[in-house]
Homo-oligomer: A and B are copies of this chain.
Amino acid sequence: MAKEVTRRSDNYSQWYNDLALKADLAEQSAVRGCMVIKPYGYAIWEKMQSILDKMFKETGVRNAYFPLFIPKSFFSREAEHVAGFAKECAVVTHHRLMNSPDGNGVVVDPDAKLEEELIVRPTSETIIWSTYKNWIKSWRDLPILCNQWCNVVRWEMRTRLFLRTAEFLWQEGHTAHATALEAEAEANRMVRVYAEFAREIMALPVIMGHKSPNERFAGALDTLTIEAMMQDGKALQAGTSHFLGQNFAKSFDVKFANKDGKEEYVWATSWGVSTRLMGALIMAHGDDNGLVLPPKLAPIQIVMVPIYKTDEERTATLAGLEGIRKELEALGHSVEIDDRDTLRPGFKFAEWELKGVPVRLAMGARDLASGTVEVARRDTLTKETVSLDGIASYIHTLLDDIQKSIYDKALAFRESRIEKCDSWEEFKEKIQTGKFLLCHWDGTVETEQAIKDATKATIRCIPIDSCVCEEEGSDIFSGKPSHRRVVFAISY
């Protein structure tokens, strides 16, 4: 049997961890809070990167690279940003080790203390805006649309693979504009890129909206977010895009001469998604047998298992599968033939189910004789016997169907757990059962905080593009007037 996975209904959190570990996505490292992303997990992240990178570039964004370290003094520049970020981080204080005087190993050389401590970037607004100061003189230098793919470090106390780790991988876009309007449009454009990526590639329905002031990024005037529902009904923030106003330009004195020759501060955005998306992928689609990967992100889209008793049967079934493999690869699909001779087919089936491979073909001597192959879908766990005539185009279409079904299933799940709620008593009860509740809110930080203190629920977003929420009413907690509903949920 393949490795046992805890059932979701027994222990959801352990189920998540089992999937991440046993499907060979990642594991804890020897360094507290830092993970190792294993090849199978990294292959999924590479697919995410390559698709997102293309989407960014289509909007005119170009990649660059900025330093890992940020001088400590930079964190004192933008007051709100400090409050939000500068605290839990990795601080470099020395630049040399030396042999220990007692002859055992190495120690930090006390003579190699840095004049100014360096912070390992938790995010790069400060170092990037200190750089943009040299790049921007006139309106002709704008806009600047840069992105970087890199690692960042936030010293989290409680970590979980992918969802919250001290070091994680991400992309951070940082743009500079001549007008507020243009910067706001950019922030909006990028959150829509994230929403499209989630929907079309990750098969993940998301709600797009503004964060409440309480939940905004440190230093932002507006934070846009995409929020996804996991299978326990909790919300996961999957990507954010910030309109930063002129805050960073003012902190780092970045001005440009406009067309009239007058100096103005530059307008900014930043936006990012991280390896947290891997956590979303696991939790949104996985089942008690393991991962369920959408075909567009699956490193292996089709796995083929030969079923045989004799050497002759082995040779014949492998040859049959090899033919199908060639056709599928010609259509651009990634295929693996599992020809390991020491394992039983049932073991292999369970292993590839655990790893979430969308389609499995099994071929035995009888299939060969009848010109058929057994096709199993990972998402529905159903099997059927299919003729070898036109098998490649059949599977090509099937992969599209699977991509769509996975999305539809996740959407149906979310729809079954999202509802309007206008009673505080009901709210307190329902929010604990794992639901997104659409409620009226009076727009004050105080009310949001009181609701959070009472229930742990937060405003996940104030939806955009949602007519369901556009109505007058009264706040679910304070009873004060409200102009629209917002999404409350307990979150990761």
Contact = CB atoms under 8 A, between A and B. Distances in A.
A62 B75 contact: no
A146 to B, nearest CB: 6
A293 to B, nearest CB: 17
A65 B169 contact: yes
A106 B30 contact: no
Count copies of this chain in the complex. Answer: 2
A489 B314 CA distance: 58
A74 B106 CA distance: 10
Contacts of A64: 36-39, 42
Interface string A82-121: 1000111111111111100000111010000000011110
Contacts of A73: 105
A155 interface: yes
A70 to B, nearest CB: 7
Nearest to A29: B67
A91 B88 contact: no
Contacts of A130: 30
How many interface residues does chain A have, given as a range?
35 or more
B96 A94 contact: no
Contact of A63 (B27, B46, B127): B46
A91 B109 CA distance: 10
Contacts of A87: 96-98
A67 B97 contact: no
A23 interface: no
Contact of A31 (B35, B46, B62, B71): B71
Interface of A: 27, 29-31, 34-39, 42-43, 45-46, 62-76, 82, 86-98, 104-106, 108, 117-120, 127, 130-131, 134, 146, 150-151, 153, 155, 167, 169
Given A30-B71, A42-B63, 13 more contacts: A29-B66, A31-B71, A34-B68, A34-B69, A36-B66, A36-B131, A38-B64, A69-B167, A73-B105, A88-B95, A89-B96, A91-B96, A151-B151
